[in-house]
Homo-oligomer: A and B are copies of this chain.
Amino acid sequence: MNQPVIQSLTRADEAFDCLQTAIVMGDLAPGEKIGEVELCARFNLTRGPLREALGRLESRGLLVRKPHAGVKVVSVSADELIELYRIREVMEGLAARQAAERMTDAEIADLKATLDSHEQMIEEAQGQAYYQAEGDYDFHHRIATGSRNAKLAQMLLGDLYYMVRMYRYRLSTSAGRPHMALGEHRRIVEAIAQRDGELAEFLMKRHINAARQNIEQKIKQGVLTI
């Protein structure tokens, strides 16, 4: 009766999830030097599974580890954030193209419905950038999985998005392009619905390119200091 619940996960997986979300949510600030014992106490873990999780996170580029010196959360510079968007541009362009070729009609209908709910959420929670960011994440998530390209989805969902989201949370309202992004999303879905892969790729690339330029501009204005 001591809540065995859903013990399907191993401790290392648990540690991995905890650490990853802690990093993404900003509970562990970039550049922060963290000790293993401290983390163990914080997440009720022992060092074995923790170290395994740390290894995975390092392999994914969220942590940097120097032998015998400790581990610290990766701190991405403004330039590197821009580079991330350049990568997203080409990879998500491919994802959109393949999604247009391979998504089922049901998935596309679902995607449209999702956009409707996003629109409603934006109208209701005017200015609540958080929900919008989550909606944006949801949209891109669906495209990635819809590409039916396992490795592509893994790289986008497992690597890039976590790093981007990490900065989204920290900068809170990085985007600030409320309705504009939704319109772009709609056009992309339209292209996918028409099975026009080439157009979907083009629109997606332009969409991410615009987001990058937006961030670049704000950094230049000093609004976003990283």
The answer to whether the Cβ of A25 comes within 8 Å of any Cβ in the partner chain is no
- B61–A59 CB distance below 8 A: no
Task: Select one of B67, B90, B151, B155 contacting A93, CB under 8 A.
Answer: B90
Check if B87 sits within 8 Å of A94, measured CB to CB.
yes
The answer to the question of A60 belonging to the interface, with a C-beta cut-off of 8 Å to chain B, is: yes
A51 at the interface (CB under 8 A from B): yes
Residue of B nearest to A67 (CB): B10
**Interface SS of A by simple majority:** helix
B155 touches A83 (CB 8 A): no
Question: Chain B residues with Cβ under 8 A from A183's Cβ?
Answer: none
A126 adjacent to chain B (CB < 8 Å): no
A87 & B52 in contact (Cβ 8 Å cutoff): no
A172 at the interface (CB under 8 A from B): no
A150: CB under 8 A from chain B? yes
Contact of A98 among B59, B86, B98, B152 (CB under 8 A): B86
A2 adjacent to chain B (CB < 8 Å): no
Residues in chain B near residue A48, CB distance under 8 A: 48
Is there an interface contact between A12 and B55, defined as CB atoms closer than 8 Å? yes
Q: How far is it, in angstroms, between the C-alpha of A67 and the C-alpha of B52 when the chains are bound?
A: 14
8 Å CB contacts to B: which residues of A32-84?
A: 48, 51-53, 55-56, 58-61, 67, 80, 83-84
Q: How far is B155's CA from A87's CA once the two chains are assembled, in angstroms?
A: 10
Chain B residues with Cβ below 8 Å from A122 are none
> Chain B residues with Cβ under 8 A from A93's Cβ?
90
Q: Is the CB of B87 within 8 A of A151?
A: yes
What 5 A-B pairs come out closest when comparing CB atoms? A90-B90, A56-B59, A52-B55, A83-B149, A90-B94
Pairs A–B under 8 Å by Cβ, sample size 5: A55-B56, A61-B154, A87-B94, A89-B94, A90-B94
